[in-house]
């Protein structure tokens, strides 16, 4: 893998939270920039190093980056805040291949999240679910990770905005994928 990408992951895996946070931001911008190569965003110039700005990622490179980022969701070294940010970065660029790692992290960790972390994670996962056109590819993941029950528990015990976000995602899953219905 490219040296600039290796440095980015080295920063993500560091013991310094500020370095981790910066690396998540760079990763998100790198993936976004590669999703929209013709667009010129001034933010990219502020966040990405010159090496990362010049880098053009192949579909295989993106797949490897997303897989490696998903593996970091299990790291004990990263805080929930960093992992939730990482989930957002992954979800924006991910496809069904990354769904299991994202929903595993969500299902196993949501009970430890702050209200803001919960809302952010539900929003990120909602965008992933909506953009996956072939429901069958991640429907088994959602069932295996018992996402319906997790979302229902959020409806019952969280702040109003988390309740609403969980309800929207649940309704989408039930209406579009018949998930949670017998």
Task: Give pLDDT tens digits for 10-24.
Answer: 999 999 999 999 999
SS3 39: coil
**Cα-atom radius of gyration of the chain, to the nearest Å?**
17
Whether 139 has a pLDDT exceeding 80, the answer reads yes
DSSP conformation class of 21: H
Q: How far is CA 37 from the centre of its chain?
A: 21
pLDDT at 179: 61
**Distance in angstroms (rounded) separating the CA atoms of residues 26 and 28:** 5
Is residue 166 packed enough to be buried (19+ CB in 10 Å), middle (13-18) or exposed (0-12)?
A: buried
CB 24 within 8 A of CB 73: no
Other CB atoms closer than 10 Å to residue 9's CB: what's the count?
A: 17
Q: Which of 77-91, 123-137, 150-164 has the lowest mean pLDDT?
A: 123-137
Q: State mean pLDDT over 3-11.
A: 95
CB 32 within 8 A of CB 88: no
Q: Which of 49-63, 68-82, 116-130, 133-147 has the lowest mean pLDDT?
A: 133-147
User: Which of the four pLDDT bands, split at 50, 70 and 90, describes residue 150?
Assistant: very high
**Distance in angstroms (rounded) separating the CA atoms of residues 15 and 94:** 26
User: Which of the four pLDDT bands, split at 50, 70 and 90, describes residue 176?
Assistant: confident
Instruction: Kindly report, residue by residue over 89-133, the tens digit of the pLDDT.
Output: 999 998 888 999 999 999 999 999 999 999 999 999 999 998 887
Whether 149 has a pLDDT exceeding 90, the answer reads yes
Whether 182 has a pLDDT exceeding 50, the answer reads no
- What lies within 8 Å, CB to CB, of 31 at 6+ separation is 62, 65, 66, 89, 92, 93
DSSP conformation class of 58: -
């Amino acid at each position: 893998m490219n040296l600039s990408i290796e440095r980015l992951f080295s920063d993500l895996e560091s013991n310094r939270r500020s370095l981790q946070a910066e690396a998540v931001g760079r990763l998100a911008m790198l993936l976004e920039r590669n999703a929209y190569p013709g667009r010129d965003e001034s933010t990219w110039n502020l966040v990405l190093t010159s090496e990362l700005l010049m880098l053009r990622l192949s579909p295989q490179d993106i797949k490897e980056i997303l897989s490696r980022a998903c593996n970091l969701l299990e790291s004990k070294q990263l805080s929930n805040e960093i992992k939730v940010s990482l989930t957002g970065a992954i979800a924006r660029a991910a496809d069904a291949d990354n769904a299991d790692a994202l929903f595993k992290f969500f299902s196993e960790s949501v009970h430890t999240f702050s209200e803001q972390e919960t809302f952010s994670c539900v929003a990120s996962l909602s965008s992933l679910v909506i953009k996956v056109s072939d429901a069958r590819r991640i429907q088994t993941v959602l069932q295996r990770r018992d996402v319906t029950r997790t979302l229902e528990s959020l409806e019952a015990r969280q702040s109003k905005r988390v309740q609403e976000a969980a309800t929207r995602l649940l309704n989408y899953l039930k209406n579009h994928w018949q998930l949670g219905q017998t």
